[in-house]
Structures are given as C-alpha cells and as structure tokens.
Amino acid sequence: LYGFLHDEIQPKLNLSGDLDYRVFLLHASNSVFLYEETRSLRRIIGKFYYCGGENRAAAHATLEQEFANLKYIRSLGFCGNGMHYIARPLGRNAALNELLLEEYCYGESLSSVIRRSIQNSDPGLLFYKLTALAFFLSRLHNRTTQPGNVDFNPAVHYAHGIIRTLAERGWISEHRTNRFHELVHFWHDRPEMWSDCPVTVHGDATPENFLFGDGLHVISFDLERMRSADRLFDVGRLTAELAHFFMLYAGNRFCAEPFIGHFLWEYSCHFPDRVSAFRAISRRLPYYMGINLMRIARNNYFTWDYRQMLLNAASECLKGGLQ
C-alpha cells in the first residue's frame, strides 16, 4: 500500500519523497480508511471492497464500477471550481484487496446540518442547504436523462425485498407483511409510476453522502450504487431521511413537512414548468418515501417502538398516496 501511495498517488497531489501517513478507520459499510500525510496534512480516502469473506469477482466489479461512475459524473461538469463537485478518484489497485483511493473532501454533512437546525431552532439554515441540494440533484438528474420511460419494476422488487427482510426478522406481523406487499402491488399498477424518463441517480442519497461548503456549494461521493432509475429514487430517499431525522431529534416527523415541501419546490424550479413538475413529483413521492422509511426501519440498532413509528409512517405514505 505504501508503495502505491508513493509511486501512483503522491504525484497526483504534488507530493514527493518518503512521507509518513497517519491512518484512521472510518465508520462505513465497506472498510474505509483515512490516510493523512503528517507534514502537509493532505488527506486521502481509501475504500477496500474485498475484506476476505466476499466474492472477489463481485468486489472487483464494484471497484471498477465506482471508479467509472466517479469519472463519468465529474466529466459532466461536477468538478473544478463550480458549485457542484464529485470527489476525485485518485487511483485503484485490485491487488490491494480491491482498493479505491479518492480525495478527501471538506464540508459539513447534511446530517450535521439537520441536527444543528433542529437543536438551534434555526430553520433558515436547513431551508438554505436544501435549496443547494435540490439544485445539485436536479442538475445531476437533468444532465443524464435517457430516452423512453422508466422501468418501475426494479423499485417494486426492491420494496418487496425490504418487506421480506422485515418479516424474517420478526419486526412486522404476517398481516402487516401482506398489507405492505399489497400496497406495493397497487402502486405497481399506477400509470404515473412508469411515466417519467429514466435518469442517472446517485443511488445512495443519504445525509452522510452530501457535504456543504460555502453558499450553494455541494459535494458528493460514494457512487457505487449509481444506476438508471426514476429521479424519485433519490428524492424519495432524502425526504424519508428528513422525516426520520425530525422523528428522532424533534420527536415529530410532521415538523419535517415544511422542509420536504421546500426541497420539492426548489427541485421543481429547474424544469420548464415548475408547477407541473412539482405535481408529477408529488404524485410519485409517497411510494418512494414510504419504501425508504421501511428501509430505514430495517436497521437493527433502533428500539422496537421507534421502528414501529417508522413503519407506521411508511404505511401512511403508501396508503395516503393511493387516495
């Protein structure tokens, strides 16, 4: 690893010589480390996709996919001195447990912004940063539109998979399991769910994967789940996360509604007909928000009572949107 840093990565960062690095393990789904050069304090993120127990070929494919995804989105203008930025991939090395190295990006995460807004009673902070994020996501989506209509089937299969996991872990009853499957089936038959064009979505649009700089500056990374889908795949995940954060830190998910509405309205302003876009997005949102509340409830570190609050909210979204 040191040889790879020395020979391949340091020249890209204008660093030279036999340098020393401090190494920190970061909390993430993969084995992710922070490497800090001790003199310049330059930082690098390293992601190991193979840790010994996974399928090596699949891990290699994921490494190559994320490397390509980062380069592709940066090629669309998400680099340089603009407001919207995707982390720069510095290199990859399959021999080092399928390692990806990318630049470390500075900024305040969306999760930190939400908590700070709630704890300091500062709604203006969150409104402003959601305006920035809406601009970022609309630009990503609108620059990657594809011909034809979106295939809604993968989003349906994804929902059924989440429901099965919740049932297998004993977190929902047989009656609720059947009801959730039924609701997903109802959404499957709604024509608006198939009506939009596909776009490239971030794929893991959670608050930890977006950083904010000054003004409207937004930074993102972690594109291994990037795919072609309905734009609501990202939008619905973020709105579900907003509801979750307000449930967790303010005790009331309905306190998130002004922020969700603001985010959708700001996202819609980047279309020729803002009102029509807002209406179309709002019709599809309850499904994507509902399944993402179920996805959040799937985490095993929540209490039983809080998980049921999330599932009740998911049920209300899925049912309410059908009325």
pLDDT given at position 300? 93
Q: What is the pLDDT of residues 111-158, one digit of tens each?
A: 999 999 999 999 999 999 999 999 999 999 999 999 999 999 999 999
The predicted pLDDT at position 322 comes to 81
Contact 118, 198 (CB under 8 A): no
pLDDT at 272: 95
Cα 239–Cα 305–Cα 293 angle in degrees, nearest 5: 20
- Do domains 2-103 and 108-320 share one topology? The answer is no
User: What is the pTM (predicted TM-score) of this model?
Assistant: 0.94
Report the alpha-carbon distance of residue 31 to residue 50 in Å, rounded: 8
CATH code 3.40.50.1820 for 108-320: no
User: What integer pLDDT is reported at residue 80 of this predicted model?
Assistant: 80
CATH code, residues 2-103? 3.30.200
Domain boundaries along the sequence of the chain: 2-103, 108-320
Distance CA 42, CA 10 (A): 10
pLDDT at 30: 63
Give the model's pLDDT for residue 28.
63
Residues of the chain with pLDDT under 50: none
* pLDDT on residue 114: 98
Q: What is the pLDDT of residue 29?
A: 63
